[in-house]
Chains A and B, each alone.
Chain A
Amino acid sequence: MSLELDSPRTVEVSQRGLTARQAIADRVFRIGLVAATLTFVILIAGLFAELVHGSWESLVAFGPKFLWSSEWNPVTNHFGALPFIYGTVVSSAIAILVAGVVGIAAAVFLAEFAPPAVARPISFFIELLAAVPSVVFGLWGLFVLAPFLGSTVDPFIQRYLGFLPMFSGGIYGIGLLTAGLLLALMIVPTVAAIARDLIQAVPNELREASISLGATRWETVVHVVLPSARAGIVGACVLALGRALGETIAATMVIGNRPAISASLFAPSYTLSSVIANEFTEATSSLYLSALLELGLILFVISFIVNGCARILMWSMLRSQGRRP
């Protein structure tokens, strides 16, 4: 006993809990983790600061009017962002509506109803779809999807729903609806894959409880399984929506690139990211360049607001279910 106490190593361990070497390693490790985490904060803050700095000239020249002005004229140096905000928001809204419905439906089928022999290969294809480069989607959208919609689907919709302003006007194949659907196709794997995992993670005990009370499989999914996974599925949709908002090349290839606001979804439009990509190289005046950067700032803020709202929504959902957010 006394021998052990005399040993310096034992004394050190009993006093500090760690040897000096362990303490240093522990400290280095912790600093490393904090630094890695801080990188994100610094990146976001730096990006925001740089966007504000770069768009300062435009911010000063146009003020808040930039947000609701529809004019985009590099010749007269008059710039407004409204058509691009409209194009971005509407195309992304179409995308998330379609991808949300299709993605969740596919996830329910894969997680609840499909036998493993079917679910496994399909899940693999869904993940494969997520890995297709967006420029390939864009090419396919331009040469296959747009002509198909323009010649078949759009006229069909217009024949029966043409009285609605959103389905009126000329049909070009390329336009808001085509861009929205192409974006939907690109983000649906995200929704489906994450929602499937979340549905599978719902405890089986809840399904059994529901079935044992005389509920059908369908009622169990709608009333118990989906509500249990609801907060996470909203999160998956927001992740997907983020990708749709920022997606540049595929949207650029099929949206028509015309800075105009039209009630019709068949009309060409323009997105924030598309106009930046298209016009960056030809932005000759400093005000022009600054206006483009301000579009980037707006896109940044929109994404920020969308994510913030989703957080609040998820938080309130978890709270209403009595779980800790």
Chain B
Amino acid sequence: MILAADGGTAGIQAGAEVKVRVRDLNVYYGTNHAIRDASLDIEQSQVTALIGPSGCGKSTFVRAINRMHDLTPSARVSGSVEIDGVDVYSRRVDPIVMRRRVAMVFQRPNPFPMSIFDNVAYGLRVNGERDRVRIAGLVEDSLRRAVLWDEVKDRMSDSGITLSGGQQQRLCIARVLALRPEVILMDEPASALDPIATVKIEELIAELRRDYTVVIVTHSMAQAGRVSDRTAFFLDGSIVEVGTTTQIFTRPKDRRTEDYITGRFG
């Protein structure tokens, strides 16, 4: 809504391609209207941060992108989420195939109760990869990209649960990278971690931006400022303002954004 009117796309580098185009998204949980007419363009190879107070719908929004609401019987979604121009909610799209391209990192590290190797190989195996050599290669490559390889290379058969919280979250990122996704959705990926682990995750996100389109939900404005190129501000289920992170943080157009940024509420 605001996006079209106030030129939310202004100030973006020319030629940036839109990877994910969300239009008039509405999400209901039973009678609770959690997302109201949200529209947002997420650009290729950029980190887009979704900020806003607790309960404003930013997690609900990001989970609508890879159809995670399919798992919640009470949830209902309308509107469209186009990835490279194809609506993921259209009948032609198989959500199981689509999720391989649009991977997700969750708030709390959630490694599977299996070995470190199997954790990373899991996504490959369920997507039909059988070649052991290829799997081993991709597992190592993903762990290196997630900057975890040196810490785990000698204990690949240990359970993923034995790692520390920060390592577990990097394992979860490696698990996602193994699928070579195009879009990575991160739902407050550092909120359960200590400051040092948080720094490592943020450095990792900075690395990932080169190859992937990243959407990160965060309740920390400082984090949004550090890691993102663009920022969208959510309030009560609506997108209030979208812009480059610099613009949102220094020259917010909407009064509510300014109030939130300056810490007057939230």
A residues apposed to B, CB below 8 Å:
115, 203, 205-216, 219, 223-224, 227-228, 320-323
In the complex, the answer to whether A209 meets B113 with C-beta atoms within 8 Å is no
- Say yes or no: A209 contacts B126, CB within 8 Å: no
Q: Are B126 and A321 in contact (CB under 8 A)?
A: no
| Chain A min CB distance to B28 (Å) | 19
Chain B residue at smallest Cβ distance from A205: B110
Residues in chain A near residue B246, CB distance under 8 A? none
In the complex, what distance in Å separates the CA atom of A213 from the CA atom of B66? Answer: 10
- 11 residue pairs from A and B, CB less than 8 Å apart: A115-B73, A206-B112, A207-B71, A208-B68, A209-B106, A210-B112, A212-B99, A213-B179, A214-B100, A227-B112, A321-B159
Interface residues of B, Cβ cutoff 8 Å to A: 66, 68, 71, 73, 96-97, 99-100, 103-104, 106, 108, 110, 112-114, 122-123, 126-127, 158-162, 172, 175-176, 179
A228: which B residues are within 8 A, CB to CB?
A: 112-113
B114 and A227 within 8 A (CB):
yes
Residues of chain B within 8 A of A223, CB atoms compared:
112, 122, 126
**Residue from B110, B113, B179 within 8 A of A227 (CB atoms):** B113
B122 lies within 8 A of A322 (CB): no
Asked if residues A205 and B126 are in contact (CB atoms below 8 Å), the reply is: no
Q: What DSSP secondary structure best describes chain A's contact surface?
A: helix
CB distance from B90 to the nearest CB of A (A): 18
> A206 to chain B: which residues have CB within 8 Å?
110, 112-113
Interface centre among A212, A223, A323 (most CB of B within 10 A): A212
A214 and B113 contact, CB distance less than 8 A: no
Among the listed A115, A205, A227, A320, which residue makes an inter-chain contact with B108, where contact means beta carbons less than 8 Å apart? A205
Q: B110 contacts which chain A residues (CB < 8 A)?
A: 203, 205-206, 208-209
User: Are A213's CB and B103's CB within 8 A?
Assistant: yes
Residue in A215, A216, A227, A323 whose CB lies within 8 Å of B161:
A323
CB-based nearest A residue for B119: A209
For the complex with contacts A213-B175, A320-B159, A322-B160, 13 further pairs of A-B residues with Cβ separation under 8 Å are A205-B106, A208-B68, A208-B106, A208-B110, A209-B104, A209-B172, A211-B71, A213-B122, A214-B100, A223-B122, A321-B159, A322-B161, A323-B161
> CA–CA, A205 to B97, complex, Å?
20
**How near does chain A come to B181, taking the closest CB pair, in angstroms?**
9
Q: Which residue of A lies closest to B73 (CB)?
A: A115
Chain B residues, CB < 8 A from A321: 113-114, 159, 161
What's the least CB distance linking B175 to chain A, in Å?
A: 7
Contact B179 A323 (CB under 8 A): no
**Interchain nearest-CB distance for B185 vs A (Å):** 8
Closest 3 CB pairs of A and B: A322-B159, A213-B123, A205-B110
**Cα–Cα, bound, A227→B159 (Å):** 13
A214→B96 contact, CB < 8 A: yes
By beta carbon, the residue of chain A nearest B98 is A214
Complex contacts, B162 vs chain A, CB 8 Å? 322
Measured in the bound complex, the distance between the Cα atoms of B225 and A56 in whole Å is 81
Chain B nearest Cβ from A199, distance in angstroms: 14
Q: Which residues of B contact A213 (CB under 8 A)?
A: 99-100, 103, 122-123, 126-127, 175-176, 179
A197 and B246 alpha carbons, distance in the complex (Å): 50
Closest to B108 in A: A205
Q: In the complex, which residues of chain A have a beta carbon less than 8 angstroms from the beta carbon of B159?
A: 320-323
Q: Do the beta carbons of A215 and B126 come within 8 Å of each other?
A: yes
- Chain B residues with CB under 8 Å of A216's CB are 96, 126
A322→B113 contact, CB < 8 A: yes
Cα separation A325 to B38 with both chains bound (whole Å): 47
Distance of A324 from chain B, by nearest CB (Å): 10
B160, closest chain A residue (CB): A322
Interchain nearest-CB distance for A116 vs B (Å): 9
User: Which B residues lie within 8 Å of A322 (CB)?
Assistant: 113, 158-162
